[in-house]
Chain A
Amino acid sequence: MVEKSVELLLVEDNPHDEELAVHALKRFKLAPNIVIVRDGAEALDFIFCRGKYTNRTIEDTPKIILLDLKLPKIDGLEVLEQIKKDQRTKKIPVVVLTSSDQEVDILKSYKLGVNSYVVKPVDFERFSETVKQLGLYWLKLNRVSV
């Protein structure tokens, strides 16, 4: 069976945030194929085809990764670093989507090569608008070099 290629990888441990994000994406019909992982370790397993994702091929990269920073097991910055360090994965656009507006997090993320840093608004209208913009930009407008 040939699986459809993954369009968006959402790394999010909070099920409510996950649900709201998926809700927003679906509402604007932006990401038909979303994979959700709950912690940093699983995210790395998925990306580097390890653990329960060994049958995946590493070349089958997601079009975008939405990454929370505060994650169980391995935190978001570590995940970001691993992705951007590896030649095979470093071109995957990674958007940090987090509640933290701490400057230190923003600085570290950009240092590690994040493509965008977005603070989750508390207000759902604005949250859903933000997700929409992200989806539009990264999935529809952006072209990744091969």
Chain B
Amino acid sequence: MDKTEQDAAQHMEAKTVMDEEFIGREVSTKAIEGFFQESIRRGLPQEALTAGVDYSLEYLLDQDERIDWESYRTIAKNFAGTLDDEQGLVDYGSYFIQSSVAKPFAIVAKLLYSPVEFYSWVVQPKTGPGNIFMSCVDGKMREIEPRHLVVELAMHPGYAVCREFFLITQGIMIALPSTLGLGESSVQMEEIQGGIRYRVQVPEGGGRLAWLRKAITWPFTARSAAAELKEAHELLLDRYQVMQNQIEERRQVEGALRENELLYRALFENSNDAVFLMNLDQTYMAVNQQGADLLGYPPDKLVGMSVSQFIVPDETQDFSNVYNALMSGESLPIYERLIRRKDGVEIPVEVNVAMVRDSEGNPAHLQSVVRDISERKKRDLERSHLLAAESEQRLQAETLAGVTLALTSQIDHKAVLDEILHQVKRIVPYKTANIALREGENLRIVRWQGYDKYTSEDLIADLIQPYSTFPLDEKVLKSKKALIIEDVLEHPDWVQVEGISWIRSHLSIPLCLHEEPLGLLRLDGIEPGEFSQEDAERLNPLANAAAVALENARLFEQILLEINERQRVENELLAYTEQLENLRQVGLGIISELDLETLLGSISERVIELLKGDAGALHLHQPNHGLMELTVSINNESAVVGSKVDFQKGIVGTVWELGEAVIIADYNNWERRLPMDGEYKFPAIISVPIGWGDQLLGVLSVYSTQTGKFSNTDANLLTLFADQAAIAIKNARLHEQTHMSAVHLETRVLERTAQLEETNKELEAFAYSISHDLRAPLRATSGYSSILIEDYSAELPEEVKRYLNLIRENARQMDHLIIDLLDFSRLSRQQLIKKPVKPNDLIEPIINELKPEWKGRKVEFKVGDLPDCTADPVLLKQVFTNLLSNAVKFTRLRDNSIVVVDYEEIDGKVVYFIRDNGVGFNMQYSDKLFGVFQRLHSANEYEGTGVGLAIVQRILHRHGGQIWAIAEDGKGATFYFTLGD
């Protein structure tokens, strides 16, 4: 097998499968148009339908005379946009490229309602590579031009591929099929002569709907979720950047402080300090200006003054210790002390004292360099304050960074809130704290901490606090500014809540996102004044970050919800698809059932299975009494099969009136419930009409014990099922009628056969009787006449003898009539024994047998070479005998009698003919020619009974043949005959 043959074989295989799918289906514009009208009647928008309709162009071309081309073009234009009139092709290619996002949903609608279940596509590049145009959609694969792309579909039976599949074929060219949810492994590529063939295996199970839905919904869900997450993340990143900047600023401040410190140190070392020289008796020996300025005396006044008078009393002992140490030769580090100035002001100084020794090494005097460090002390103090603030700021920044990090990594709402409360405690210690979020005109406490130490958490958990009761909260939310209450007992607007009345101080900070308050962060203390404005300020950045994180978490939860929702819709669709598949199976099951009673039972049982109901009923309209009759009841003991229902009332009446599905959630509370009805065991009911328009056949109902059991989806399914049921019921009814007719017909045939047999017997008896009883008197008549003539010849006058001869002659004539009549009647009863016959073999003996009839004259027989035939040879011989005998007889007056036996072929059939040049006849009597006892010539001229041609005709009719004659008065006659098949 070469490649082309292989292609063709695969081609055939695909075609066979598809043909099977198409058996009994008709895809035509008319069928689709009808479907449209029906669908629009049911409320489907026309655009949704036209957007999803496919036409088999090849099919339409094949079926040219049956197609309403105008309507085809109109509809094709509606969804394709352009139409190539020259080739009669629809340019689908541009349509797909330009189609909007909304279209696929229209296709979903089409999938659910399409009457056409199977398509395949042939795609061909029209003007060159890259331009793809589609030409047709039908079950046949056709190669149109050498350079084309053939797409074959291996399908799960019952699922259709429609035009979005074309997107996939484009996907093969441009992108990957996997972008539409189709695995690459399910696409096979094969190079064929002049093109490439793709086989796309659509997944089984969920069918094409499943992957189509995936293709539509997946990018949407993922894209929107991703976009939202990205936005939230960027927001957090911005906040984080701001905090990073703040930390950087703090670091710079710290650096400056360090430089100052060094500068101060350098100044202490290098400036003109106060320098004192002291005698060993602890009197000033010398003092520089700075020293004098320091002590408040002029330098000269100080000389000789005792050092002790400038020492603060507390440090007297310290000073003597220093002195002793120096005296004993120790060296001392710089130390600080206080100097009491002349005015009594104590000045902090730094003292660097050393023993100045003479050249012998003996103590000479004391030298101390004293620096006024009151300024430095002051600065030191300030610095220590600054350092404390700085470390706090750093802690705060670190906390914020931690919060941000923690919050960006936490997207669970509760975890975020817990993290916020945890981080707040690091910045501003509290006893108890909670976060309350806005819910309309209320605040709801969503997370809390610390309450279990003071009171039960139940008091706080999920507490809803209306603004109207807690005006302070509303104030904070509206002002978007923190509120600090030093002592709640002194605050006029504070509302005490029972159980947490131990609260004395309170800090409330709004959590704002883009100036929009989301809720409050509230801290409590047990002592008055536990919170300051600084605390509030410190918490502000945290509150902002927390708001962002909260929003982030909320968005995330929303996305989760959305994803769940999509999952739910997806599951519903899957379930629906499964139900549709069940419906299809069930439909296949019932459509083949021809016994009406079995069918009705089967419909009721299967519909209960389909909708997972508990009981069911089938009412059929009975045209003879105009009521609805309960024909089938399943699992419902209270229903009486055969009971009649007035179809203007109750469920059945409602369905009948509306002509569409009716869902009753709870019959016991239904407004149209019949007053005499008792409590219904199956309160949930779904009912649907079977058939439509004037052809409503009945009502199909499913019951359930579970109220509100049935949905609109169930109604759709049931409607589809009822349509199938209607067809099946009509089918079965037709079958029943046909069956009844057949039975009736058979009975009639039997009766007629019996009658015919009876008649035949009577005829036989009659014929028997004729041959015996009718001929006896003739024989007597003939016999006695003969005896008279013979025995009394001498005594009888000539005239009497002539009369007697006439009597004898008439008796013989009548005998001939009787014999012919018997022959004729026997023909009807005699069985035909057909064999292959050579007519020429029959004719020769006949001519010989007839010889006595043309005694004394000349008859020329011209017998052609006649074709063989199948006939009863005995009867066919009778035909030729009678016709030739006639020919001989009616040429009696011709000097030169010519009889021709030959044949012609007319319309492929052999027609034998026998032509003579005898007296012929007038064609206006030709209808009498073949009747029994019909004669066109007087018995005086041409003897005969008038039965011969009737016999011929009967023989030929029994063979399925015909006989006719063409003649002219005085100019001969031609008898034509056929022998049937």
Contacts and interface: CB of A to CB of B under 8 A. Distances in A.
Contacts of A125: 786
A59 interface: no
Interface in A96-146: 98-102, 120-125, 127-128
Residue in B776, B777, B783 whose Cβ sees the most chain A Cβ within 10 Å = B783
B50 to A, nearest CB: 79
B705 interface: no
Given A17-B776, A70-B772, A98-B772, A123 B812 contact: yes
Contacts of B814: 122
Contacts of B811: 122-123
Contacts of B815: 122-123
A17 B771 contact: no
Contact of A99 (B771, B784, B786, B812): B771
B775 interface: yes
Given A17-B776, A99-B779, A122 B812 contact: yes
Q: Is the interface of A mostly helix, strand, loop or mixed?
A: loop
Interface in B49-73: none
A17 B772 contact: no
A121 B775 CA distance: 9
B772 A124 contact: no
Contacts of B942: none
Contact of B779 (A100, A102, A120): A120
Contact of A20 (B768, B773, B780, B808): B780
Contacts of B768: 100, 102
Contacts of B767: 102
A69 B769 CA distance: 12
Contacts of B39: none
A98 B815 CA distance: 14
B771 A124 contact: no
A52 interface: no
Given A102-B768, A102-B771, A124 B808 contact: yes
Interface in B764-821: 767-768, 771-773, 775-780, 782-787, 808, 811-812, 814-815, 819
Contacts of B779: 16-17, 20, 99, 120-122, 124, 127
Interface in B740-777: 767-768, 771-773, 775-777
A28 B819 CA distance: 29
Contacts of B785: 124
Nearest to A105: B768
A99 B776 contact: yes
A23 B782 contact: no
A124 B819 CA distance: 17
Contacts of A128: 786
B772 to A, nearest CB: 5
A5 interface: no
Nearest to A21: B783
B782 A123 contact: yes
A14 interface: yes
B780 to A, nearest CB: 4
A100 B779 CA distance: 13
Contacts of B776: 14, 16-17, 99
A14 B815 CA distance: 18
A98 B767 CA distance: 15
B889 to A, nearest CB: 22
Contacts of B777: 16
B705 to A, nearest CB: 80
A70 B776 CA distance: 11
Contacts of A122: 775, 778-779, 782, 811-812, 814-815
Interface residues of B, number: 24
Contacts of A16: 776-777, 779-780, 783-784
Contact of B783 (A20, A70, A98, A100): A20
A129 to B, nearest CB: 11
Contact of B771 (A20, A23, A101, A121): A101
Given A100-B768, A102-B768, A124 B775 contact: no
A99 to B, nearest CB: 5
Contact of B808 (A23, A69, A123): A123
Contacts of A100: 768, 771-772
A92 B253 CA distance: 165
Contacts of A20: 779-780, 783-784, 787
A92 B200 CA distance: 98
Nearest to A125: B786
Contacts of B783: 16, 20, 23, 124, 127
Contacts of B780: 14, 16-17, 20
A120 B774 CA distance: 13
A35 B814 CA distance: 32
Nearest to B775: A99
A123 B778 CA distance: 8
Contact of A23 (B772, B773, B787, B822): B787
A16 B775 CA distance: 12
A124 B773 CA distance: 17
A127 B775 CA distance: 13
B768 to A, nearest CB: 6
Contacts of A124: 779, 782-787, 808
A127 B783 CA distance: 8
Contacts of A99: 771-773, 775-776, 779
A23 B812 CA distance: 20
Contacts of B822: 101
Most buried by A among B778, B779, B785: B779
A14 B779 CA distance: 11
A12 to B, nearest CB: 10
Interface string B58-100: 0000000000000000000000000000000000000000000
Contacts of B808: 123-124
Contacts of B772: 69-70, 98-100
B766 to A, nearest CB: 12
B60 to A, nearest CB: 67
Interface string B725-746: 0000000000000000000000
A100 B771 CA distance: 5
Contacts of B775: 99, 120, 122
A20 B787 CA distance: 9
A101 B771 CA distance: 7
Nearest to B780: A16
Interface-centre pick from B786, B808, B814, B815 (highest chain A CB count, 10 A): B786
A76 to B, nearest CB: 11
Interface in A63-80: 69-70
A124 B776 CA distance: 11
Contacts of A23: 783, 787
Nearest to B767: A102
Contacts of A123: 782, 786, 808, 811-812, 815
A122 B786 CA distance: 11
Contacts of B787: 20, 23, 124
B150 to A, nearest CB: 75
A53 B891 CA distance: 63
A124 B782 CA distance: 6
A16 B785 CA distance: 12
A121 B785 CA distance: 15
Interface string A28-62: 00000000000000000000000000000000000
Interface in B368-403: none
Nearest to A101: B771
Nearest to B823: A101
A128 B783 CA distance: 9
B765 to A, nearest CB: 11
19 contacts: A16-B779, A17-B779, A20-B779, A20-B783, A20-B787, A99-B772, A99-B773, A99-B775, A99-B776, A99-B779, A101-B822, A102-B771, A120-B775, A122-B775, A122-B815, A123-B782, A123-B808, A123-B811, A124-B783
Given A102-B767, A124-B787, 5 more contacts: A70-B773, A99-B771, A99-B772, A120-B775, A128-B786
Closest 3 CB pairs of A and B: A124-B786, A16-B780, A122-B815
